[in-house]
Amino acid sequence: MASSTITTGGRHYFLLVAFSLLSSAAYGQLSQEYYASNCPSLDQIIKAEVDRTLFTDQPPAGGRRMGASLLRLFFHDCFVQGCDASVLLDDDLTKLIVSEKKAAPNDKSLRGFDVINRIKGEVEKACPAVVSCADILALVAKQAVISLGGQGWPLLLGRRDSTTASMVQASTDLPSPNSDLPTLIAAFDKKKLTAREMVALSGAHSIGLAQCANADKTTQQQRCSNANSNSLLPLDVQTPEGFDNLYYGNLPNKGLLHSDRVLTDRADLRDLVRQYASNQTLFFVDFASAMKKMSEMSLLTGANGEIRLNCTRVNYN
């Protein structure tokens, strides 16, 4: 067919370009408008369900703290195999899947799975077998930040969901709340994220609570002295339910986690913390830029993944 239709160099070039475009379409192209035609109500569903979770549903299933949990869930997904919804998979012996939920950084601390499953159910009603769980995770994290007062970021859509999980990688690649600064920098560098982007992403701690068991052992004992290890304390002592820059003003003295406090251990990063503390616009811009970059790590498209019908398990074909 090619030999009978390609007659000139120019036409040959034209057909190669056309074939390339067709191939790209077949294997998936990421776009901010990916669902504009096949799921036009997606943004409306995401916003309605996230706002319901944050402002209508009661704890522990909802409340503003869940915004931090949903953001953390996305972070823990992207740092393991890329942003592919692998963190949502349950154990499945028939598919040799060992869930990342059981890894030490996730076990008994990662929340929001039921929220994602509920939102996936609503999306499936409107647009069956169209929207991946990976895209839902990304959209929900972005909307949670916006709904709590932060700034959004351009989000490429069209991801596919992984058919594998890695408990091993979840156990090794996710930074610990007890990490020192060199360890944190190395963990982010492994994901091609700079130290500046690390400090900006740490601003996610502007919202949410953490267990006293994870608090800095040398400086935060007084705050936890009358509480047991399961008690929760705000990561931002001033506005833990609103996304803003006040978290940086807490550092280092009132940083709950050791990994928060050490962000000021290096002179250039200490200066950056001061800049974010005094300039919320700068923090919002840098946070949005870092989130966009993180959201595009090792994405699956086309035949390299699938659109799970249930976020907790792979499709059975």
Q: Is 244 a known ligand-binding residue?
A: yes
| Mean pLDDT, residues 270-295 taken together | 98
Q: How far apart are CA 131 and CA 129, in angstroms?
A: 6
Per-residue pLDDT reduced to its tens digit, 287-317: 999 999 999 999 999 999 999 999 999 998 6
Q: Is residue 9 over pLDDT 90? A: no
Longest dimension (CA), the chain: 83
Instruction: Output the pLDDT for position 218.
Output: 73
Residue 205 assigned ligand-binding role: yes
Query: Is 114 labelled as part of a ligand binding site?
Result: no
- Give the model's confidence band at 220: pLDDT under 50 very low, under 70 low, under 90 confident, else very high: low
Q: What's the whole-number average pLDDT of the chain? A: 89
Residue-wise pLDDT for 62-96, tens only, equals 999 999 999 999 999 999 999 999 999 999 999 99
**Superfamily of chain region 42-304:** Peroxidase, domain 2 (1.10.420.10)
Quote the tokens at residue 215.
């608090």
Per the structure block, which two tokens stand in for 129?
Answer: 């077998």
Q: Average pLDDT in the 44-56 region?
A: 98
Round to whole Å and give the CA distance between 120 and 97. Answer: 21
pLDDT mean over 124-134? 98
Q: Is 249 exposed, middle or buried (0-12, 13-18, 19+ CB in 10 A)?
A: middle
Model-level pTM greater than 0.95?
A: no
- Give me the active site residues, please: 76
**Is 161 among the annotated ligand-binding positions?**
no
**For 29-38, what is each residue's pLDDT tens digit?**
899 999 999 9
User: What residues does each domain of the chain span?
Assistant: 42-304
pLDDT of 246-263, one tens digit each?
A: 999 999 888 899 999 999
Q: What is the pLDDT of residue 52?
A: 98
pLDDT number for residue 25? 37
Give pLDDT, residue 230.
Answer: 67
Q: What is the pLDDT of residue 232?
A: 86
Residue range 114-129: average pLDDT? 98
Pairing, β 232-234 against β 209-211: antiparallel
